[in-house]
Chain A
Amino acid sequence: EAGVAQSPRYKIIEKRQSVAFWCNPISGHATLYWYQQILGQGPKLLIQFQNNGVVDDSQLPKDRFSAERLKGVDSTLKIQPAKLEDSAVYLCASSSNREVYRDRTLNTEAFFGQGTRLTVV
């Protein structure tokens, strides 16, 4: 089974420029997440999709960040304009959410891509 694919692996841009990241989740996974991981910290959820609809984007800085998941498969995350504090690793993850226990469909584990390391100078 192929894993979660992300590109590019590394990106260096100047502040105020724009950048886009791409993610291809595991085939058949309905849930897709974008996380931001600043050096030395745990991943912070930016946005969660269920198929092509947004479930949670409460921590997405909407004045500069945007994300879409067309046709419920691939996703792109964009930053425009970038700030110095956006330097981080951007992680994409996907989940099938198909484990059932006592008539409840449970939140199963997420599978993570290698991430995109963004440096804003």
Chain B
Amino acid sequence: SYVLTQPPSVSMAPGKTARITCGGNNIGSQSVHWYQQKPGQAPVLVIFYDSDRPSGIPERFSGSNSGNTATLTISRVGAGDEADYYCQVWDSSSDHWVFGGGTKLTVL
């Protein structure tokens, strides 16, 4: 089945730009969605269809997808952005919905 690979952790200083990658075979041909999950809370959709933002999600959150890597970019990171982030796609070959392993974002 389709595998999505994320770095386990990313650390960034406050005010800087954090980039979280999601690797997959030809993922650029897929629709990628990103979820934020804070401790003890349910996941929240932050980016859908590669680069669209749901209402209420700050413009600091953006996404891109090309080749074998999709990227979630968070600009001007702050303590409130500390969370686990998951990418997700639909695998048409198996009719399975797949999540990446998750990336823990730490704001130093």
- Mutual binders A and B: no
Residues of B within 8 A of A (CB): none
A interface residue numbers (CB < 8 A to B): none
